[in-house]
Structure 1
Amino acid sequence: MQLTTQTECVDHKWHLYLVQTAKGALYTGITTDVIRRLAEHESGRGAKALRGRGPLTLVFHRAVGDHAHALRLEYRIKQLTRRRKLDLIDQQPLDINAWLVQ
């Protein structure tokens, strides 16, 4: 998934995102600025789990509302199996909550 403008990801709402490492591992996180956070991960200043695991690919992101809701969704996504996370990436649902109850 390519991000082309900052305005599509920087709107002071919280975003849930998934990043894929060079070896295919998936990392789930939340942020208010997806472009900045991806740059931090790529430079090694982000999560330790991603250091030295590049190149990194942003495979999914959605605005999810406030911080509390973003934290709850992040936890729920992290509990999913790898197969289910890959389904999320493949399907790119607009409403993550509705997708989770399927």
Structure 2
Amino acid sequence: MFYTYIIFSEILNKYYVGSTSNIEERLAKHNHNHKGFTGNKSDWKIVYFEEYTTKTDALKRELQIKKWKSRVMIEKLIKKS
């Protein structure tokens, strides 16, 4: 199984969209101190995810959501679930 996910940091008041084959492990990496957008805070929580059978489908959905560049659209998606 592959996943497209959205995580949220209350400290930053920001969303992050990604895809992975192991959502729990990926969240742990986001919450671990590392270089990159999510690495400087450790309060990321999964607020939304979708399951896919292929990595390609999960990645396509991730890119589709990122192209929105709209917090409003992301929050509407989260509220629908």
TM-score when normalising by structure 1: 0.71
Instruction: Tell me the equivalent position of 2:77.
Output: 88
Deviation at 1:70, TM superposition (A): 1.1
Corresponding position: 1:44 with 2:40: no
Q: Look up the SS of the partner of 2:21 in the other structure.
A: strand
Q: How far 1:53 moved relative to its partner?
A: 2.7
1:6-43: CA deviation from partner (whole Å, max 9, x where unpaired): xxxxxxx1101001112221100001111110001101
Count of residues in Structure 1 that have an aligned counterpart in Structure 2:
79
* Alignment equivalent of 2:6, drawn from 7, 15, 18: 18
Which structure would you say has the larger Rg? 1
Deviation of 1:91 (Å)? 0.9
Structure 2 unmatched runs, 5+ = none
Residues 33-42 or 47-56, more deviating:
47-56
Q: Which amino acid aligns with 1:14?
A: F
* 1:51 positional shift: 1.3
Instruction: Find 2:63's aligned residue among 46, 50, 75.
Output: 75
TM-score (norm 2): 0.88
- Partner secondary structure for residue 58 of structure 1: strand
Match of 1:57 among 45, 69, 74: 45
Q: After the TM superposition, which parts of structure 1 deviate over 3 Å for at least 4 consecutive aligned residues?
A: none
* C-alpha separation in 2, matches of 1:29 and 1:78: 9
- Aligned AA for 1:50? T
Alignment RMSD:
1.4
